Amino acid sequence: MPGGYKFYRKKCFNPKKEFQGTTKELARFAKALAHPARIKILRFLSHSDFCYTGDFVEVLPMAQSTVSQHLKELKDAGLIIAREQPPRVSYCINHEAWQRAKMLFKDFFDALKTEEEQSQ
């Protein structure tokens, strides 16, 4: 018999909902950073007080509607804040979320045992 897998059998549609806490939170932030356009947007914002939508459109190699969508995702993830300044909209970093994300990533990467620790 070619064999199979025994206790591996699990039906678990939508496993993502099973995760909690910082695991979920970190993955959420990571997803927000998972596109180069969004990295660029955040980099831009982190170097200035604020930017208008148009500023990003000028600089990114994509249509205005697409840029708007990326801005929305960053907003939904909590990393940026929009402010109506008719007829324009300005964006800035959400410092609170930024610090939170910064800490989560730091703790995550710092958890790695050093090679010296491992060999002991």
Partner DNA sequence: AAAATTCATCGCAAAAATACGATAAAACTT
Partner DNA sequence: AAGTTTTATCGTATTTTTGCGATGAATTTT
- By CB under 7 A, name the binding residues for DNA: 1-6, 8-16, 31, 34-35, 37, 52-54, 57, 62-73, 82, 86-90
- Give yes or no for residue 61 binding a copy of itself (CB under 8 A): yes
- Give yes or no for residue 1 binding a copy of itself (CB under 8 A): no
Residues in 68-87 that interact with a copy of itself by CB under 8 A: none
Q: What are the start-end ranges of the H helices in 15-63?
A: 21-32, 36-46, 53-59
- Phi/psi-derived region of residue 114, left when phi > 0, alpha when psi is between -120 and 50, beta in every other case: beta
DSSP bridge partners of 83: 90
- Give yes or no for residue 88 binding a copy of itself (CB under 8 A): no
